[in-house]
């Protein structure tokens, strides 16, 4: 393992609640049933694909232009909510505030690191959290054409790190992200819901465990 590529939401930070609130506002406006179970199906999925999943529960057919406007409206609500994001929204693994600690230690031993996220709001989130200094590359939804489970985001991150996919470990919390990493030929560490996904190389309870496996690929 020469480098590590992190998914953002659910791995380094938690913005699920902000997504939930924004999508719920849209669903309520359209009188479409929406709850946290439905919201969980949207993890690791692009904005437009998330909207399509929500609209499956609507008897109304929407034009592509209407869908675009709904997705933009959701994103505007979400970005407004993101103004409230702080370090308290950093993922804390086992509750010990470990993301920053783990990132600092990996950075100190010069492990190349990147973020690979389908979110187009990644730059804003990284800025608000103040974690950009740890990463040699950041790839987000603004730079890719295909969202997970397509491996494009991770392949581009590996390219920016000047590494082969097989020499990179991807850290993911969502099934779609795990599939993307596997599809791209990466080593995969699963955290949160993804730690029980089949075919991953490492199940993680917290990011601190990366310090133990660094340099020792499965």
pLDDT for 1 equals 79
The pLDDT tens digits for 20-31 are 999 999 999 999
Q: Of 147 and 74, which is predicted with more confidence?
A: 74
Supply the angle between the helices 64-82 and 16-29 in degrees, to the nearest 10: 140
- 196 secondary structure, DSSP code: G
- For residue 122, pLDDT beyond 90: yes
Report, as residue numbers or ranges, the catalytic residues. 7, 9
Confidence of residue 98 (pLDDT cuts 50, 70, 90): low
Question: Would you say the pTM of this structure is higher than 0.75?
Answer: yes
Q: Specify the 3-state DSSP secondary structure of 45.
A: coil
Confidence of residue 147 (pLDDT cuts 50, 70, 90): confident
What percent of the chain lies above the pLDDT cut of 90? 72
**Number of CB atoms found within 10 A of residue 92's CB:** 16
Q: Output the average pLDDT for the chain.
A: 90
Q: Specify the 3-state DSSP secondary structure of 77.
A: helix
Q: 140-162 burial, b if ≥16 CB within 10 A, otherwise e?
A: bbeebeebbbbbbbbbbbbebbe
Cα–Cα–Cα angle for 35, 198, 122, rounded to 5 degrees: 55
- For residue 211, pLDDT beyond 90: no
């Amino acid at each position: 393992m020469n480098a590590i590529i992190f998914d953002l939401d659910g791995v380094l930070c938690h913005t699920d609640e902000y997504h939930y609130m924004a999508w719920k506002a849209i669903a309520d406006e359209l009188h479409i049933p929406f709850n946290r179970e439905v919201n969980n199906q949207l993890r690791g999925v692009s904005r437009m694909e998330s909207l399509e999943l929500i609209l499956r529960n609507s008897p109304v057919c929407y034009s592509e232009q209407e869908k675009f406007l709904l997705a933009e409206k959701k994103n505007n609500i979400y970005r407004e909510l993101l103004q409230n994001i702080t370090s308290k929204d950093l993922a804390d693994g086992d509750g010990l505030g470990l993301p920053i600690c783990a990132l600092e230690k990996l950075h100190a031993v010069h492990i190349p690191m990147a973020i690979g996220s389908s979110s187009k709001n990644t730059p804003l989130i990284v800025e608000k959290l103040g974690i950009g200094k740890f990463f040699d590359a950041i790839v987000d939804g603004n730079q890719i054409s295909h969202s997970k489970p397509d491996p494009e985001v991770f392949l581009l991150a590996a390219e920016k790190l000047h590494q082969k996919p097989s020499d990179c470990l991807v850290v993911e919390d969502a099934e779609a992200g795990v599939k993307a990493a596997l599809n791209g030929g990466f080593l995969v560490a699963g955290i949160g819901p993804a730690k029980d996904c089949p075919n991953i190389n490492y199940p993680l309870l917290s990011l601190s465990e990366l310090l133990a496996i660094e340099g020792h690929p499965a």
